[in-house]
Structure 1
Amino acid sequence: MHTRFDFGESPTVLARQLEHYLDAYPNETRALLGLSAGTAIGVEVLDKELPVRLEQHTHAATLRIGRRDAQRVMAYTRSCNWANGIVLVPTLARLVFAGAFRGLRAGMPRAMRAFAMSRQPDPTRNLGVLWGALNLLSLAGWLTLDRGDEDAEYALTPAGEYVVACVERTRPLFEQLANATSVLQHLHALCHRKRTAADDSVLYAQLARICVAGWPELPAPASDLERRVNGQLRTAMDGLLLGPTWVALDMPVFDKQPDGQYSQTAPAIFDKLDEQPGGVAVGAWMHADPVVLYAAWSLMCKFGMAEIDREKVRFTESGRIHRPIAAPYAGLPASYLRSYALLDELLFGNPDPLDIDSDGHIDRVMNVYASSGAGSGPASQEITTKILRELFDDTPLDRQPAGIADMGCGDGSAVKRLAEYVINSTRRGRHLADYPLLVIGADYNESARGRAAATLSALKDVPGVQVRVIAADISQPDRYDEAVAESGLTVRQPDGSVRPVRLSDLLHTFMFLVHNRRLSIRREEAAEAILERHLRLVDRSSLRAVVDQYYPGLLTVSEQAEYPVALDDIKRAFKVAYSDAEGLVPGYVAAADLIDFLTRWKRHAKHGFLIVEGHSPWAENLCANALGGPDAWLRTEQLPSVFNWGMHFVSRQFMAPFNEFMLALTLAGLRPGSPIYGRIHPEGFPGPDLLSDYRFFSIANYVADVGMNR
């Protein structure tokens, strides 16, 4: 890992690291901090816990941050890059081995379809996955894609030409790494001896030794560009091994019970280190595979996460800070390793060999474990303190929502946290006798509803709280509305009478769900008709505001023309392509489906859609303006965009760039009814994920735009 990722411990070293981090893109940093152009920015790290604060001087400013928060910024950044490697290395290797770049030099274009047809006569059903794989390498800065449809052409960048040469020159090593995905998907089970495969344990240990040695087979870089890209590639290779290692050591053992649910049956390996911070005997984990565990400790020690002294292992300070960040971040892409183990098949054979619709493509237990730490937990904190407080504390009681309905509730833990906040921390919670709180968990999956019922049962004994778990499909809100009305829940009207509750009485929460829908609009003609209809109806001033903010210089809103923006221009504004069972889905088709989906829901959302949604940026934004020499930060290194896209393109999900998401919402007649939240780093730190071009996830309550011409 490059020295810019080093984990600083002293305030002085940390301050210099953060200045270097922020100075990579100084204009963006100043914009986030509200500073004028040319203002000098310094960082002061204080050896105590305190909120991040900006102190402005005449021509300069100082960002003051506590030591632990400064270390967390660096820990998040390291963890993102390790997680990126889990998807980046196998994708790069499989495309190189398939001949995607054979004979190409930097800047030479190749038609995606022509390459795909060199692998099979009719690649139609694979083109969406192939576009997604190429886009993954684009997000790393290794190639460019000129468009988001079946006629796309790709070309290597100079950085991409170098990494392809590295793979070709050390092909046996990268074959080992790509094939190791079939082992790494089971590393947690191997470590805990829930799976026994001696050859797999030995392969992991062998690769760990090569990693600890620093990947000596890689060719030495000969220029500044090669040194920078060499560091990026090595970090990704480290992450392919280190990411699953974090999960193997941090995730408890969960076993399936007779009722079909999973419950914890054994603690995490790391739990002993928490119980005995002074050190634990290396042989204390009698149940674990010693070959796997010894190799895992060697990797942890190599990267400064643990240390072994006198046959006792313990966390370093760095390890304790990284653990709650690196483990769940790695667990997200690692839960898709079973798909990456079959990536060649997805790209050039059966595009759905694991049956996505039955969840065969993912380790769902691992994904739930990782999601609770990497996204759902931090997201719920911003939802509660920023949005729920306004709705259930600041708003007069008689104008508040009747309750919260979480669509796609899973095990119910997220909506339970939100309800507990309302109960314990708001004015509504102090007046439940007069204004009861309705809590609804809705899910299409029967198993999820069973888990949610168990989770939410804890709220049933709270006076003034009523709970229901309902079978519902996100794509059919009218049927969901009928099911809610038939649930037995009621609301009191101003005249004292009661009536069945309806969806319009509730606040709706969609937690990382909108991108995980199945398309209702698939034909290009139908998509064009939806876009035309909404272009006629959209409020032009609202559209102009969104275009000015998210598409400056790319779109123009007309006051006189039949459509405020020409149909072809709107279609081109949705640049990212996706995949489904039929093949490649152009971005404008997915956008039309999103607009149609939101329109069906809008009449049920009087109190708003509280949407938490993941995003993947345009690769051209992410990789532009990489300034400086080999020590400079690449934008792609500061964000989790690579692994985020890597999870979603193999699983038929429609995760849009934030810019495109906001344009679609506006065309659907919605607007943010609250500020847009969602951050990776501590509040007050000007992380690039806060900029619309680079959003990792967003949180906002969206309401109907009263200016919409309906």
Structure 2
Amino acid sequence: MLTVAEKQLFREELFRHLDGIAVAPVAYSLLKNKVIDFLLSNKESSISHIASLNNINKGYLNVALRILSSQGWLDYKINNNEVLVELNKLSTIAFSHIHLYKDVVELLEYSGKFHPRKFELEPFHKLEQLFKKHKNRFDLPISQNGTITLIQNQILKHIEGALVGPTIVHLGMGGMFHKYFMEASFSPEEYHKFPKSFDTILSFLSYLGWFSKSNGNYTFTDKGLFFAKRASAYGVTVSYIPMFRQMDSLLFGNPNILWESKSSIETHVDREMNVWGSGGAHATYFKKIDEIIISIFNKPLNQQPKGILDMGCGNGAFLIHLFEVIASKTLRGKHLDDYPLFLVGADYNKAALKVTRANLIQADIWAKVIWGDISDPDLLQKNLKDDYAIELKDLLSVRTFLDHNRIWSTPSSSIDAPSVSTGAFAYRGKRLNNDDVERNLKDHFTKWKKHITRYGLIIIELHTISPALTAKNIGKTAATAYDATHGFSDQYILEIDAFLKVLDEVGLQSDKKYFSKYPDSDLATVSINYII
């Protein structure tokens, strides 16, 4: 059994791994393209000045430098909508070690040529070389300087994360963490057709303390079980590796590269992996949502919504969960024959609609599954009324981690007070002022207001925190990874306070009785709101 201290230590390791998956490609791209040299030559610089001198896409440069700041390697501040970065006591030491990312970044790029769900021989060989380098600490000299050692360990843990993150996700999605393997010893031959190569991975994970090895067989240690049970925690960040492979283009080339594919399949994210990864975390948030749902559907029947709209229904799991809660734990559930529940799953992604429809049929739940755009609730209302004779305002609206992924449009609203957000936001490489991001969010909720004032809107939302706060709490938050995955893919995660400020300006409120944030501290990057 792990002690509380051991669990905390391993959780810190996990967060540092996630940092590494995001930081390595960003930092190495800045090094290759001489931005690091420029920063070292200029104690303080503005984003605008750096971008103009080096022909860089300013919006993504802003995201990139904020990420370095979140690791403690730069000081980052916004002054009258201009972003300034300044060297600090860690900058020179950290920047002198960025070259260590070279091999692992090249491996991430190289692996894009191979099947995303299989371990193939050529990447195996490159992995093996990197495992050896990592075990030898990349031949770094042992330092007597505590600060240098701190930075070296930080970067080595980043590299470790970029190595084990994709590995543990592939193992998790491939069934490696089935109880058959977790409860008994096993040999490489039992799992993989290339046992010698697979043994290389297991040996490295044993070096990290995840397995013990005896007579050619492997057994999970308590540490290994800890990480195996949290494999999905790596999933969302790893799912964005296709985007991180394009870092040179995003920063220094074509900022539209992620969006120019004519294929209907997303090229910047492995959506199947993303859904698998996010599913592990959702269970925690669903418990809080259940409280709100039970309260609403225990009201007198004539005061309840006619049903539920899940905007951004994904694979339908949330809608299925909500139906089961209502059916088994509420007054409405006892009267579904007389007061049927009108369920609607809406999504912009047509592939997701097919998955939702199939999952709802399998769950024997009647629901409508329709195309919808979170940025256009009026069209959604029209389609519901024309096709099903129901008003959007008669439904309880719910959504999970979606509002920050709205399609950008030039804002028309004004805001009552300037933004105090520290976020870095971009649209197709162009930098967005934080005031404009709040104005855009205000436009967004203004569109929805008339459709949700009767029964409300339940939202699970993702947030950022300041890079200075992240830097002081490395190993305690996944904020750096969130900022990278969302910043480079044109998504807009504000701090919780900024988010609530915009709601207030629209004339909407988050019911304090049901408000929750995770973790319940200043490091909160997720909130649950019942907006009325």
Matches within 5 A, 1:298-697: 298-325=203-230, 327-355=231-259, 359-373=266-280, 375-384=281-290, 386-393=291-298, 395-458=299-362, 460=364, 466-488=366-388, 500-522=389-411, 526=412, 530-532=413-415, 535=416, 570-581=417-428, 583-605=430-452, 606-623=454-471, 634-673=472-511, 674-679=513-518, 689-691=519-521, 693-697=522-526
CA contact (8 A) 1:354 1:361 kept: yes
Deviation at residue 150 of structure 1 after TM alignment: 7.8
Distance in 2 of aligned mates of 1:10 and 1:317: 7
Among 217, 229, 234, which residue is 2:156 paired with? 234
Deviation at residue 646 of structure 1 after TM alignment: 1.4
| Deviations 1:106-131, CA, capped at 9 Å, x for gaps | 991023233223333xx4xx111110
- Partner SS, residue 305 of structure 2: coil
Matches within 5 A, 1:193-342: 193=120, 198-213=121-136, 215-252=137-174, 268-271=175-178, 274=180, 277-288=183-194, 290-291=196-197, 293-325=198-230, 327-342=231-246
Deviation at residue 275 of structure 1 after TM alignment: 5.2
Letter in 1 for 2:409: S
- Partner SS, residue 440 of structure 2: helix
Letter in 1 for 2:391: R
TM-score (norm 2): 0.92
- Partner SS, residue 147 of structure 1: strand
Matches within 5 A, 1:77-96: 77-96=12-31
Deviation at residue 612 of structure 1 after TM alignment: 0.7
TM-score (norm 1): 0.70
- Partner SS, residue 226 of structure 1: helix
Deviation at residue 400 of structure 1 after TM alignment: 2.0
Relative to structure 1, the CA distance from residue 440 to residue 164 in structure 2 (aligned partners, 3 Å threshold; closer, same or farther) is same
Distance in 2 of aligned mates of 1:289 and 1:660: 52
Question: Gaps (5+ residues) in structure 1?
Answer: 1-8, 18-69, 253-267, 489-499, 536-569, 624-633, 680-688, 704-710
Relative to structure 1, the CA distance from residue 414 to residue 188 in structure 2 (aligned partners, 3 Å threshold; closer, same or farther) is farther
CA contact (8 A) 1:88 1:136 kept: yes
Letter in 2 for 1:473: D
CA contact (8 A) 2:456 2:530 kept: yes
Distance in 2 of aligned mates of 1:109 and 1:229: 21
CA contact (8 A) 1:185 1:335 kept: no
Relative to structure 1, the CA distance from residue 516 to residue 368 in structure 2 (aligned partners, 3 Å threshold; closer, same or farther) is same
| Deviations 1:585-632, CA, capped at 9 Å, x for gaps | 111111111101101101111211111111111113333xxxxxxxxx
Relative to structure 1, the CA distance from residue 127 to residue 419 in structure 2 (aligned partners, 3 Å threshold; closer, same or farther) is same
Distance in 1 of aligned mates of 2:256 and 2:194: 34
Which is worse superposed, 451-460 or 104-113? 104-113
Residue 104 of structure 2 corresponds to 177
Distance in 2 of aligned mates of 1:137 and 1:163: 10
Distance in 1 of aligned mates of 2:62 and 2:382: 40
Deviation at residue 285 of structure 1 after TM alignment: 2.4
Distance in 2 of aligned mates of 1:147 and 1:141: 16
- Partner SS, residue 90 of structure 2: helix
Residue 158 of structure 1 corresponds to 89
Letter in 2 for 1:588: D
| Deviations 1:189-222, CA, capped at 9 Å, x for gaps | 47444xxxx4432111111222233x24234344
CA contact (8 A) 1:192 1:287 kept: no
Among 521, 528, 532, which residue is 1:699 paired with? 528
Distance in 2 of aligned mates of 1:75 and 1:434: 52
Distance in 1 of aligned mates of 2:80 and 2:306: 44
Bigger radius of gyration among the two = 1
Deviation at residue 443 of structure 1 after TM alignment: 1.1
CA contact (8 A) 2:26 2:64 kept: yes
Relative to structure 1, the CA distance from residue 284 to residue 506 in structure 2 (aligned partners, 3 Å threshold; closer, same or farther) is same
Distance in 2 of aligned mates of 1:192 and 1:315: 20
Give RMSD over aligned pairs.
Answer: 2.5
Relative to structure 1, the CA distance from residue 119 to residue 343 in structure 2 (aligned partners, 3 Å threshold; closer, same or farther) is same
| Deviations 1:139-159, CA, capped at 9 Å, x for gaps | 111112222888422122222
Deviation at residue 312 of structure 1 after TM alignment: 1.1
Give the length in aligned residue pairs: 527
- Partner SS, residue 699 of structure 1: strand
Which is worse superposed, 306-315 or 647-656? 306-315
CA contact (8 A) 2:255 2:429 kept: no
Deviation at residue 103 of structure 1 after TM alignment: 5.9
Residue 627 of structure 1 corresponds to none
CA contact (8 A) 2:60 2:429 kept: no
Relative to structure 1, the CA distance from residue 594 to residue 287 in structure 2 (aligned partners, 3 Å threshold; closer, same or farther) is same
Deviation at residue 286 of structure 1 after TM alignment: 4.1
Relative to structure 1, the CA distance from residue 285 to residue 87 in structure 2 (aligned partners, 3 Å threshold; closer, same or farther) is same
Distance in 1 of aligned mates of 2:462 and 2:113: 27
Relative to structure 1, the CA distance from residue 588 to residue 438 in structure 2 (aligned partners, 3 Å threshold; closer, same or farther) is same
| Deviations 1:531-586, CA, capped at 9 Å, x for gaps | 25xx3xxxxxxxxxxxxxxxxxxxxxxxxxxxxxxxxxx22423323111261111
Matched, 1:130 2:61: yes
CA contact (8 A) 1:191 1:288 kept: no
Deviation at residue 277 of structure 1 after TM alignment: 2.0
Deviation at residue 380 of structure 1 after TM alignment: 2.0
| Deviations 1:330-349, CA, capped at 9 Å, x for gaps | 22111111221221111001
- Partner SS, residue 576 of structure 1: coil
Q: Give the % identical residues.
A: 25
Residue 71 of structure 2 corresponds to 140
Distance in 1 of aligned mates of 2:510 and 2:39: 45
Residue 22 of structure 1 corresponds to none
Relative to structure 1, the CA distance from residue 701 to residue 185 in structure 2 (aligned partners, 3 Å threshold; closer, same or farther) is farther
CA contact (8 A) 2:77 2:422 kept: no
Letter in 2 for 1:476: D
- Partner SS, residue 404 of structure 1: strand
Relative to structure 1, the CA distance from residue 396 to residue 75 in structure 2 (aligned partners, 3 Å threshold; closer, same or farther) is farther
| Deviations 1:401-458, CA, capped at 9 Å, x for gaps | 2221100111211211121121122232122123221211001222211111111124
Relative to structure 1, the CA distance from residue 512 to residue 106 in structure 2 (aligned partners, 3 Å threshold; closer, same or farther) is farther
Distance in 1 of aligned mates of 2:279 and 2:408: 27
Distance in 2 of aligned mates of 1:10 and 1:377: 23
CA contact (8 A) 1:412 1:452 kept: yes
